Amino acid sequence: MHEWALAEAVIETAIEESRKEGLEEISEITVQIGELQQIELEVFHFALDEIAKAHDEDSLLTNAKVRLETERAIFKCRVCGTEWDYRDSCVGEDEGEAIHFAPEVAHVYVRCPSCKSPDFEVIQGRGVLLKAIKGKR
C-alpha cells in the first residue's frame, strides 16, 4: 500500500501548515490528486483517516474532513506543442504500475502522439498535492 506513504506526507504537511497559520483545529483538508499517479482513492482516503487518528494527540485533526479532488493528467510536447491526455496514451499494466510509483517514468513509456518525442511536460495532474486547509484559529 504505497498510498500510505503519501497519506502520511499529506497529514504531516497539513499539521505543519496549520501550525504556521495558527489553527487550533482543522475542519477540512483538500487534497488534489493527479491522475498520472493512479492513486487508489478509497485506499488513500482510508490511509488519511487512519493516520489522522494516530496523529491526533492534541485534537487538531479530530473533526477534520478530507476532500479528494482529482485532476486529469495533461501532457504537452516540448518539440511540436501537441497537448494530450494521459488517458489517451497506450500504457501497459506493468508500465502503469511503474508510473504509479514514480510518475516521471512516464517519460520512459509515453510518447507524443504526433511526433513520438519523449520530451514532454506534465502540465497538470502529476501527483498528490495539499491544496487547502480550513480550520478554526
Partner 1 sequence: MVTDPRLSVIARRLSGIKRIVAVTGGKGGIGKSLTSSLLALTLSRMGYRVGLLDLDLSAPSTHVILGIDGVYPKEEKGIIPPEVHGISFMSIIYFTGNEPAPLRGEDITNAMLELLAITQWGSRDFLIVDMPPGIGDASMDVIRWLKRAEFLVMTTASKVALETVKKVIKMLDELNKPIIGVIENMKMRESSSVYDALHEFNVPLLGAIEFDMNLEDSIGDANALVRTTVAARLKEIIVSTPGFNLEH
Q: Are 67 and 30 in contact (CB under 8 A)?
A: yes
Q: Are 125 and 84 in contact (CB under 8 A)?
A: no
Cα–Cα distances (Å) from 65 to 79, 107, 127, 134, in that order, read: 43, 35, 20, 10
Quick one: which of 9, 41, 79, 115 contacts partner 1 (CB under 8 A)?
9
Q: Which is nearer to partner 1, 108 or 115 (CB)?
A: 108
Residue 123 Cβ vs partner 1, minimum distance, rounded to whole Å: 12
Q: Are 112 and 90 in contact (CB under 8 A)?
A: no
Quick one: which of 1, 41, 54, 115 contacts partner 1 (CB under 8 A)?
1
Q: Which is nearer to partner 1, 25 or 71 (CB)?
A: 71
Q: Of 38-46, 60-68, 82-90, 125-133, which segment contacts partner 1 by CB under 8 A?
A: 125-133
What residues from 78 to 117 belong to the interface with partner 1 (CB under 8 A)? 98-99, 101-105, 107-109
Distance CA 133, CA 23 (A): 10
Q: Which is nearer to partner 1, 58 or 97 (CB)?
A: 97
Q: Does 50 bind partner 1 (CB under 8 A)?
A: no
Smallest Cα–Cα separation from 124: which of 33, 45, 11?
33
